[in-house]
Amino acid sequence: MQRRAFSDNEIAVLGQSIEVSEDLISDHFKISTSQWQRYRYDIQSLKDLAEDEITDLAFAQIRRYARCPSERLRGSEFGEYFKICLQDHIIVRALQRDPQILFLPLTTYIVTHELIHVVRFARFLQRFEVSDREREAEELVVHSLTRQLLRSVKMHGLVDVLEAFGEVGMMETMVTAGTQ
């Protein structure tokens, strides 16, 4: 499978998706700008991923690391860090398969979904390491919350995305890794 990374223009649009998603989640979970710093996460696209952060099975992969590689922590501090690894090639393939689906609303949907997971993990509302049955139950919760938050957003093409992804399915894979 050919893995095409997002173009510079698509990366710029992805930045808009992240802004929309963070605003929605901030409002819903009552997270202030300063509180966001407590949530150690990063969102990266294909060109910035290591080979083990790439999958051909989902729109994204959430990797949990023991610490963020760029942070200097004292030996006794734990710095759990989540990396949302967007799978550009899978997203592009979905856009090619369903031409009525637009890039901005699809990436807004994906990023919102993944950030909800991160907040739920960081707030201990959900454990990261769970059984398949528990993961399916968590997916139902996150899928429902994603749809609820996005229904209020006025964005061209978002209704098409919500209709296309009405059925619950796994949006991501999750992997616990060592330090990066």
Tally of structural domains, the chain: 1
Within a domain: 1: no
Report if residue 3 sits inside a domain: no
Query: Is 105 a domain residue?
Result: yes
Q: How many residues does the chain have?
A: 180
List, for residues 27-68, the tens digit of each pLDDT value. 999 998 888 777 789 999 999 999 999 999 899 999 988 755
For residue 60, give its domain range: 8-176
Q: Is residue 14 part of a domain?
A: yes
Could you tell me where the beta strands, DSSP code E, fall in the chain?
Answer: 41-44, 60-65, 81-86, 172-176
With cut-offs at 50, 70 and 90, classify the pLDDT of residue 177: low
Establish if 78 belongs to a structural domain.
yes
Kindly report the pTM of this predicted structure. Answer: 0.85
Is 174 in a helix, a strand, or coil? Answer: strand
Report d(CA 152, CA 139) in Å as an integer: 21
CB 102 within 8 A of CB 17: no
Tell me if residue 60 falls in helix, strand or coil: strand
